[in-house]
Structure 1
């Protein structure tokens, strides 16, 4: 394997792990399939020869490995994983969830999604639209926002309410976030990392999760690769700043489907 290609694959690996985890609903399952993908590439480069880019090659190889295993999701059989499996049963269109994640979270173009999934470009675009509609119609709940920048917080609130969720409130600091969660239990937390008083959104989330049973969490950061280190625990869902409306809509829907309480170590 050429050194340049190897370096490009290594640079793309954190993003494959993010995608694999959101797709399978499990850090352990996602990491297992990501590792299996690397092993498959080492054994047979023909499976991705001619790919548009090393990143497309890596994701294409992942899908070949994952599909050959039966495309498993939601391995856990209780708690939030069981709820995720029930939600997933409502997505009736094959490949729609995969196409959506590839488009709005990993920012692949339609032609690249088509190559990764082995479908036509027009079909890939249709799958993204279908998945967005199906997911937004399937779940609704209370969303708590932890964000110290007022304009961003307002944008998040508008987007979240437009897709049918109720915003319980906006907190600018760790203490405000903990107090808000105590007053109104959220179904989902959407949290920035750095807060107004230099406190940590990660600390706020960890304290909130200590009050309740499992809650899904989405973290916001300008440097997602710094949080996807492979060390446990780490976040299941990340949005990169600056984010698009489509990214936020998709992440919220995905988090409601694949809920996880695992957070970053403080």
Structure 2
């Protein structure tokens, strides 16, 4: 099997990580594209001593660490001054460690390899990121989910994080009505809803009324991580872990609340 075939199944999840790390589909996908270009240009540099997924993320981490985020946005990778201001709000390495372990499921040892450090430092960085999360401003959260057990689980996680749940909607129309009645600061949205309507359409309707960060929840993340069309920046895979939801919520709110200093 070729290297390209080995890497293909892992690309959707690298896009998820890159988007969560940058807070943008465009910038995240640009970093993934740059990573693939680097692999094609120098295939012998790809780490063969580890499995394909770990090697792919290691190549990405190298691109991320070596790129100057203050460069002009037109260069296709850099996020410009706005992204730089946002990234300054929390130690970048602590967020990387949290996302690699909580969202991408790497062990502390593997995350240490990816970040060129050891497992002990990864654990310290994750603790640092979690401390930053505790200091985040609490938000009103709308949950769009038609499965009662999953909805209750999400509601418990959201409330345990100190956020308020404005409501739980099970259809597109109900979601839009609740969002307009009590504007949320964050939306958690399933893809397939009770009346066969779409959570994606519900979110589009809400975003037509006002801007709000959104985290999509789906059992088929690869369908929304192709990089070929407008797609979610933040995405949670079903079945999910509490730590994954926590990391995604913290990242979405972090980028939404960040502003450029005067």
TM over 0.5: yes
Distance 1:66 1:77, change over 3 A: closer
Aligned position for 1:33:
31
**For residues 201 and 157 of structure 1, what CA distance do their matches in structure 2 show?**
17
Distance 1:64 1:101, change over 3 A: same
2:62 maps to 1:58: no
Aligned position for 1:234:
231
1:192, distance to aligned residue in structure 2 (A): 0.6
- Give 1:153's match in structure 2, choosing from 151, 154, 162: 151
- Map 1:43-192 → 2, pairs under 5 A: 43-70=41-68, 75=79, 85-86=85-86, 88-91=87-90, 93-192=91-190
Aligned position for 1:264:
none
TM-score, normalised with respect to structure 1: 0.87
Q: Secondary structure at the match of 1:152?
A: helix
Aligned position for 1:245:
242
What is the aligned length? Answer: 251
**For residues 209 and 195 of structure 2, what CA distance do their matches in structure 1 show?**
22
**For residues 253 and 11 of structure 1, what CA distance do their matches in structure 2 show?**
27
TM-score, normalised with respect to structure 2: 0.89
Structure 1: state its 5+ residue gaps. Answer: 261-266
1:95-117 Cα shifts (integer Å, max 9, x gaps): 11001111111111111101111
1:76, distance to aligned residue in structure 2 (A): 5.7
Pairwise CA RMSD: 2.1
